[in-house]
Amino acid sequence: MPYDNLRKGRFSEAGRAYFVTTVLANREQAIFKDFYCARLLINHMRELHEMAYVNSIAWVVMPDHIHWLFRLQDKKPLAEVMRLFKAGAAYKINQYMHRKGALWQKYYYDHAVRDNEDIRGIAKYIVANPLRAGLVDYIADYPHWDAIWL
């Protein structure tokens, strides 16, 4: 899907929950199999949470992509939060890995969660991703996930 198609109809609303997926620039480089890289990414997500840009609900870091469910706060619009997320994570991970260049694909997928949608069901879908991908037999065995049950 072309990048411009992903941006069509995109809006940013403070207080709205968003389900976001973003993928590594070179998907065959499963950078997040490296535990320390995954922890750098999660720590950066927590920084954005602590700066009150987002209120994180659930996430999972897969070997080559991330799913993140959060409620957008009123400090920054969605596009700016994602720019800060991707740029900050890329800087930290590239520095650790002694590499240069793009870490993420240019685009990301976002879904604005409607008021009538089951946010808990979306969170369960996210944290079950490693199980569906065959990476673990039990969700609790996967070290790169978290959820705050509402």
Q: Give, for all 150 residues of the chain, the pLDDT tens digit.
A: 444 544 555 678 889 999 999 999 977 678 999 999 999 999 999 999 999 999 999 999 999 999 999 999 999 999 999 999 999 999 999 999 999 989 999 999 999 999 888 898 999 999 889 888 888 887 777 776 666 655
The reported pLDDT for the residue numbered 140 is: 76
**Residue 127 falls within a domain, yes or no?**
yes
**Count of structural domains, the chain:** 1
Q: Which residue range(s) make up the domain with 43?
A: 15-147
**pLDDT for the residue numbered 97:** 94
Residue 118 pLDDT: 87
Residues 6+ away with beta carbon under 8 Å from 145: 58, 59, 60, 61, 126, 127, 129, 130, 139
The CATH number that applies at residue 42 is 3.30.70.1290
Q: Would residue 113 count as lying in a domain?
A: yes
CA torsion angle for 115, 139, 85, 117 (degrees, to 10)? -10
In a domain, 84, yes or no: yes
Write down the pLDDT at residue 133. Answer: 85
> Is residue 7 situated within a structural domain?
no
The model's pTM is 0.86
Q: From CA 122, how far away is CA 113, in angstroms rounded?
A: 9
In a domain, 2, yes or no: no
Does residue 1 fall inside a structural domain?
Answer: no
What local confidence, expressed as pLDDT, does residue 10 receive? 63
Q: How many CB atoms lie within 10 A of CB 81?
A: 21
